[in-house]
Structure 1
């Protein structure tokens, strides 16, 4: 039986993505008895989105999970995402929905397909885990028109036609899940109509 202090990390990668955590380096440089200087360096990036394409901007990341009883972590696909752990699990560190961007025309319709089977499989040092109940949120740049088990249909609400949507879901943690990093990939399909 694993102890409650075992930590596992779960994240899913959008197609052609690299799963990792944002890293910041802090350097302390002493320059004499009375003064110290601090500097920090951060990674910077920009995404240029071609019209009628889709670009991955961030990976789905459930953060660190502590517990051995099994349960679920529900990650909302909101701009200010939350992760809610069921009894017996503790979720730490920031959770992050997958974020994708696209570009078309104002008021154009787009269909976004969930991963096949509405499931993502995460593999790691222990038993596989699944992410189920995949949810897609395009607010505020996309207005939901219709939904079915496979597709979400939206209308682009931004005048310049650029939009962002986020993907969340429910991570299913097995009882006595082995600690370690669990990763998986999934594909999001978008149809511009």
Structure 2
């Protein structure tokens, strides 16, 4: 039975007895230690080799004679066809070619290609004149799986804008593609 004890602040002797009683009461409670059951877990990880990207071919639109208005040509990455979208420039030859890149890595893993830019400017060798290349397109799905040999090839096309009375010469530039695991 627990009694209610009122302690007077002036009664220090009584306070000591209550403290001693409380301490002894706590010692006499039944004590049962916690029993822990052992368990173990496993951890693991897989390290895949890095994706290596190899350029097989550059993007080449061919040769042109400029017209008097802006002209747009699109190179299809699936079939390599060059189509004139607008303007009066004339495609006169060369062999239009889609760019080609091969990704190599761990077999059967999924990779994704993306273009680093929406547009670039190619500049005339020895000059400052330029033409815009944009609308980079791939020859299929961006997300693909590496084959059993650990490879997949992407082809990339785009759109070229030939300006009115474009200065003759060879125009060059670079564009970036990224191929990553996902």
Q: What is the TM-score when the length of structure 1 is the normalising length?
A: 0.61
2:119–2:135: 8 Å Cα contact kept in structure 1?
A: yes
Aligned to 2:144: 155
Question: Which structure carries more strand by proportion?
Answer: 1
1:126–1:177: 8 Å Cα contact kept in structure 2?
A: no
1:107 is displaced (CA, Å) by 3.9
Gaps of 5+ in 1: 1-49, 139-143, 145-151
**Number of corresponding residues:** 129
* Aligned-residue RMSD, C-alpha: 2.0
Is 2:135 the counterpart of 1:133?
Answer: yes
Secondary structure of the 2:62 match is strand
1:132–1:170: 8 Å Cα contact kept in structure 2?
A: yes
Structure with more relative contact order (C-alpha pairs < 8 Å, separation 6 or more): 1
Aligned to 1:170: 159
1:130 is displaced (CA, Å) by 0.8
Is 2:94 the counterpart of 1:93?
Answer: yes
1:122–1:128: 8 Å Cα contact kept in structure 2?
A: yes
Residues 126 and 65 of structure 1, relative CA distance in 2, 3 Å threshold: farther
**Aligned partners of 2:110, 2:128: CA distance in 1, in Å?**
42
Aligned to 2:11: none
Residues 126 and 66 of structure 1, relative CA distance in 2, 3 Å threshold: farther
1:107–1:155: 8 Å Cα contact kept in structure 2?
A: no
1:105 is displaced (CA, Å) by 4.1
What does 1:6-21 align with in structure 2 at a 5 Å threshold? none
Aligned to 1:20: none
2:74–2:83: 8 Å Cα contact kept in structure 1?
A: yes
**Aligned partners of 1:134, 1:123: CA distance in 2, in Å?**
18
The structure with the largest alpha-carbon Rg is 2
